[in-house]
Amino acid sequence: MKRKARFSLPSKYLLLIVTFFCVAMIFITFTTDLATGPFKVISGYVFIPIQNGINYIGTSLTGKAEQLQNLQDLMDKNIKLQAMVDELTIENSALQQDKYELARLRELYKLDETYPSYNKVAARIIGKDPGNWFSTFTIDKGSNEGFKVDNNVIAGSGLVGIITEVGPNWSTVRAIIDDSSNVSAMILSTSDRCIITGDLKLMSQGMIQFSQLNDQDNLVNVGDKVVTSNISDKYLQGILIGYISEKTTDANNLTSSGYVTPVVDFEHLQEVLVITDLKE
C-alpha cells in the first residue's frame, strides 16, 4: 500500500495560526484601509452574479403574484389618486407662482441655489446583511460606475444611507436605521440642529431617534420636517430624512430628543439612487 507522505498540521496549531492571522487582519483593517482590495474584487465577481440571479427570479415571481392580487386594490386607488391629482394641480400652480417669485428674489440677492441638482445613478438592492443585528445592504453597482465611499444614497425623496464599502461591481450601503448610524440633521422650519441615530429596538416600529436638539423656546412641533444639516461633513445638505413623530424635553431642560418617522420605507426598498457627488 502506497502512502503519500503528506505534511499535516495538527488542528490546534492551525487554530492558533489562523487566530493570529485574524487578529492581525482586524488591527490592520481597523487602523488602515489596506489589504481588502483584492478580496473585494474576487468576491465581487463570484457572488454578485449569483445574488443578481436569485433576485431576478425572486422579483419576477413575486411580481406576478402581486399583479393578480392588486388589481382590485389598484382600481380603488386610481379613483382616490384622480381626486388627489386635481387637488395637487391647483396646489402646484400656486407653488409655481411662488417659485418664480423666489427665483426673482434669489437673483436680486445673488444667492446661490441652495439645493444644486446632484448627479444620481440608480442601483438595485441585491442582498442584505446576513445577520439580524445590523441593517446594511449590497447594491449591484460600484466603482465602475464612479461610486465612492461616503456617497449618499437616497430613494424617492428621502435619505436611505451612505456607502461604506465599494467593490468594482458592488457596494455596501449602511442605512440610517442601522444601529451604528449617526446623521447630523436639522429641523427645516427652525434650522435647529440635532443628531439622528438608528436604533435596533425601534427598527421594527419603523422609527429612528433624534437627540441633542436645542429648542428652548419650544418652537419645534410634531410633524416638522427633518433634513440633513449644513454642518455634516459626509451628508449633502437638505436631503429629507423624515418627520418628527414624538418629542420630549431631556432631563437637563436644555435639549430635547424623540423619534422621527423616516420617509423611506426601508422594509420594501428595492431600488435606490446614489448621489455620485461627494460633499466637499
Partner 1 sequence: MNRKIVVTLLVIVCFCFQCTLFKALSMAYITPNLLIVVTSSFGFMRGKKEGLIIGFFCGFLIDIFYGDVLGFYALIYMYIGYVNGFFNKLFYDEDIKLPIVLITISDLIYGLIIYVFLFLLRSRFDFGYYFVHIILPEVVYTVVVTIVLYRIIRAINRKLESHEKRSASKFV
Q: CA-CA distance, 125 to 188, in Å (whole number)?
A: 30
Q: Is 141 in the site for partner 1 (CB under 8 A)?
A: no
Task: For residue 8, count CB atoms less than 10 angstroms from its CB and return exposed for 0-12, middle for 13-18, buried for 19 or more.
Answer: exposed
DSSP sequence for 51-76:
HHHHHHHHHHHHHHHHHHHTHHHHHH
User: Given the rule CB under 8 A, which of 88-96, 115-123, 126-134, 254-262 is the region that contacts partner 1?
Assistant: 126-134
User: Given the rule CB under 8 A, which of 146-154, 165-173, 240-248, 271-279 is the region that contacts partner 1?
Assistant: 165-173
Give least dist CB 136 to partner 1, A. Answer: 6
In three-state secondary structure terms, 46 is: helix
Nearest CA to 154 out of 276, 48, 259 is that of 276
Q: Is 15 in the site for partner 1 (CB under 8 A)?
A: yes
Among 7, 30, 100, 109, binds partner 1 (CB under 8 A): 30
Q: Which three cell numbers mark 44?
A: 465581487
E-strand spans in the chain?
120-128, 136-139, 152-155, 158-166, 171-175, 182-187, 193-197, 208-214, 225-228, 240-249, 255-262, 271-275
202 contacts 208 by C-beta, under 8 angstroms: yes
Q: Is 69 in the site for partner 1 (CB under 8 A)?
A: no
Cβ nearer to partner 1, comparing 165 with 277:
165
Among 76, 98, 133, 233, binds partner 1 (CB under 8 A): 133
Q: Is 71 in the site for partner 1 (CB under 8 A)?
A: no
Q: Is 270 in the site for partner 1 (CB under 8 A)?
A: no
Nearest CA to 272 out of 188, 107, 180, 147 is that of 147
Q: Is 123 in the site for partner 1 (CB under 8 A)?
A: no
User: Given the rule CB under 8 A, which of 102-110, 125-133, 229-237, 243-251 is the region that contacts partner 1?
Assistant: 125-133
Cβ nearer to partner 1, comparing 164 with 230:
164
Q: CA-CA distance, 149 to 171, in Å (whole number)?
A: 9
Among 51, 182, 255, 257, binds partner 1 (CB under 8 A): 51
Give least dist CB 185 to partner 1, A. Answer: 20
DSSP sequence for 79-130:
HHHHHHHHHHHHHHHHHHHHHHHHHHHHHHHTPPPSSPPPPEEEEEEEEE-S
Q: CA-CA distance, 194 to 257, in Å (whole number)?
A: 9
Q: Is 39 in the site for partner 1 (CB under 8 A)?
A: yes
Q: Where is 27: in which H helix or E strand?
A: helix 11-31
Cβ nearer to partner 1, comparing 179 with 277:
179
Among 6, 7, 11, 100, binds partner 1 (CB under 8 A): 11
Number of amino acids touching partner 1 (CB under 8 A): 50
Q: Is 60 in the site for partner 1 (CB under 8 A)?
A: no
Cβ nearer to partner 1, comparing 40 with 247:
40
Binding residues vs partner 1 (CB under 8 A): 1-2, 11-12, 14-15, 18-19, 21-26, 28-30, 35-36, 39-40, 43, 46-47, 50-51, 54-55, 58, 62, 126-134, 136, 138, 165, 170, 172, 179-180, 200-201, 203-204
